[in-house]
Structure 1
């Protein structure tokens, strides 16, 4: 069993939860997908708001599917079947920059919390994550699932969400344009 980073936008995380956290999709250019095995654990991270939102267990090796996923212009044709060990909505997801999270992750604890370069660690989906970090996040998210409080979205979070929505709208417009030309 290997822990792996799985990146989601707020929209793809919401769609994954609406589907019961049973399938996740990837673009064709995910070479790392070949290394993912059943029983690997995906540590779900929501980009834009920098939050840990779940841990999903891979139940089937990667396969190709032609159906759409996530209501996106891209179909995310490469899929993994998964089952949730824990999954929380975006408002209850754990911000990575909480001191108790930041200082306990091998990935971040040596970096100053205000250093903007740490984001590069979270640009490659399916990269392997140290077991200690995975165990810590799994336990943390299981505790979070029992709590009813939420982490308020900051003005920075809301600004990033607006930018992500604008980018998605532009991708949809380009996809529509490309389809009209075909």
Structure 2
């Protein structure tokens, strides 16, 4: 009889803690206990590491579910537990990138927006299709037999995203409301304000040139057309277009023409980027939310690009109720790219840019969705 496959999410930190504790117990949040009870001996857990988006292990269920609050993980208790044995355990550097399996996994089929693939990877345990489970097991076995090291880059931070939030009750149920950002220290304001416009223009130029080198037409925000980076005007990047496609109504086009960077393929927008180096983060988010509200069936991949230090704030703001209640929710179609990660990725891709495809953006970005359960 074929085993049942379940998704089992880890961070780099919780994967290490699991293995250091003997690799005999996998745990989940209290509200997942009913699901854990459906697991049976012989079922297989597919271990997926968030942020780096890699398969790192395969566990076999060896016993029944139980509830236990003894300490294994530092970040959370994860008391809904199941006894397991390790069948395969890979170091994250040798894990299987999920994006390398686009053509094998059904979760990548029929996406209305290329950024929507990460939805099935946000909660565990979750039952997975037999065909997907079998494909992942084969990939893990191949990685174990023939290890390939792949640098983790900027996505390799351990731990979970920590967001200050208040839970309030509404007519629609409980809502987690992020706490407002605290003002920055006064002695940092001047230096930050001087650096922000320059960094903003640097990243805009890098994205414009990248899109152009990949063979796309590009468009820079109307109010930034005269900006320069190292003596080069943004408007002078090859393949820069002044006019936008006519597929949208005038009101929508007025929003789109203010988005920091667009990649265009004929009349289609391939990707849209908002570069956020200011304190509020709100201007770019409001443009994106207005665009989605006016064009709810839009299939444009959206990307927020900001400094690594501001990652938590970016994801916090994207998940505000204002944006989370949109259809589709903004966090599902918007992904985050760090300044530092973009620079590193461009350095690694030097000389190969013309061979890149838009899917490359999925590899250098990360989901803005909050993990429901990470063990």
TM-score tier (shorter)? 0.7 to 0.9
Aligned length: 162
Q: Deviation of residue 52 (structure 1)?
A: 0.6
* Counterpart selection for 2:162 from 151, 154, 167: 167
Correspondence for 2:86 = 84
More contact order relative to length (CA 8 Å, sep ≥ 6) = 1
Correspondence for 2:36 = 33
* Counterpart selection for 2:52 from 49, 53, 58: 49
Secondary structure of the corresponding residue to residue 93 of structure 2: coil
CA distance, structure 2, for counterparts of residue 140 and residue 23 of structure 1: 24
Correspondence for 1:123 = 122
Q: Deviation of residue 13 (structure 1)?
A: 0.9
Query: Which of the two has higher C-alpha Rg?
Result: 2
Q: Deviation of residue 166 (structure 1)?
A: 5.8
TM-score (norm 1): 0.80
* Counterpart selection for 1:96 from 98, 106, 109: 98
Correspondence for 1:24 = 26
Q: Deviation of residue 7 (structure 1)?
A: 0.7
Q: Quickly say closer, same or farther: Cα 1:153–1:77, change in 2 above 3 A.
A: same
Q: Quickly say closer, same or farther: Cα 1:147–1:107, change in 2 above 3 A.
A: same
TM-score (norm 2): 0.40
The CA RMSD measured in Å over matched residues stands at 2.3
Correspondence for 2:10 = 8
Q: Aligned runs of 1:129-168 on 2, under 5 Å? A: 129-155=128-154, 157-158=155-156, 161=157, 164=159, 167=162
| Contact in 2 for aligned 1:94/1:151 (Cα 8 Å) | no
| Contact in 2 for aligned 1:63/1:78 (Cα 8 Å) | yes
| Contact in 2 for aligned 1:14/1:89 (Cα 8 Å) | no
CA distance, structure 2, for counterparts of residue 148 and residue 166 of structure 1: 30
CA distance, structure 1, for counterparts of residue 22 and residue 143 of structure 2: 18
Secondary structure of the corresponding residue to residue 99 of structure 2: coil
Q: Deviation of residue 146 (structure 1)?
A: 2.1
Correspondence for 2:105 = 105
Q: Quickly say closer, same or farther: Cα 1:122–1:165, change in 2 above 3 A.
A: closer
